[in-house]
Amino acid sequence: MNILKEKITLGKFGKTYGIKGWIKLFSYTQNKKNIFLYKKLFIQKNIKNIFFIKFNQYIKKKKYFIVQINNFYKTEEIINFINHKIYIFKYQLVKYKDKQEYYWNDIIGCHILNINKVYLGKVINIIETKIYDIIIIKSNNLYKKNKKILIPFIEPNIIKNIDLINHIIKVNWSL
């Protein structure tokens, strides 16, 4: 198994900010500030070349952070970070002790069966709303081929069972 394929995207760098080595950071973690709690974050320049990053300082802006990284204090030192995704190795994620908590990347790729054992499709994404998360399923149904199905992630009313070992989610949902 290639360890570089077992990575999770936690954020992305944007444009440089000012002249003292600051760069915009967009966090993809649920609590945006939690990106600063992870160790061994990295960017991947190509298939074999990864670069570990460490945040020296950060400042919260409205929809992003500005950060200084790896003791770089000049714009020309960080210009190569623009638009790079920020990763962590999957094995470094904290395993939840509570079986009711999941990482989104554990849910993406799971197959969806309804309570009548009808196959609805495969989870391709999850979106967050203010009320509840919504799983997006690519349908394989003959009549809805390649259509997307949106199902609210509400346990236990709609999401009945999540089996991460077999990658199957049972739902109370019909087409």
Q: Where in the sequence is the domain holding 134, given as residue range(s)?
A: 104-171
In this prediction the pTM is: 0.65
Residues 63 and 109 in one domain: no
Q: How confident is residue 1, by pLDDT bands cut at 50, 70 and 90?
A: very low
Q: How far apart are CA 170 and CA 99, in angstroms?
A: 15
Domain CATH code at residue 27 = 2.40.30.60
Q: How big, in percent rounded to 5, are the helix, strand and coil portions of the chain?
A: 15, 45, 45
Domain boundary among 92, 118, 149: 92
Whether the predicted pLDDT of 116 surpasses 80: yes
Q: How far apart are CA 118 and CA 101, in angstroms?
A: 25
Unique residue bearing structure tokens 């204090």: 73
Residue 97 domain flag: no
Domain CATH code at residue 114 = 2.30.30.240
Residues 54 and 128 in one domain: no
Residue 68 domain flag: yes
Q: How far apart are CA 57 and CA 71, in angstroms?
A: 10
**156 cis-preceded (ω within 30 degrees of 0):** yes
Helical (H) or strand (E) element with 76: helix 75-78
Per-residue pLDDT at 29: 83
Residues 53 and 131 in one domain: no
Whether the predicted pLDDT of 113 surpasses 90: yes
Q: Which residues contact 171 (CB under 8 A, 6 or more apart)?
A: 112, 113, 114, 115, 120, 151, 158, 159, 160
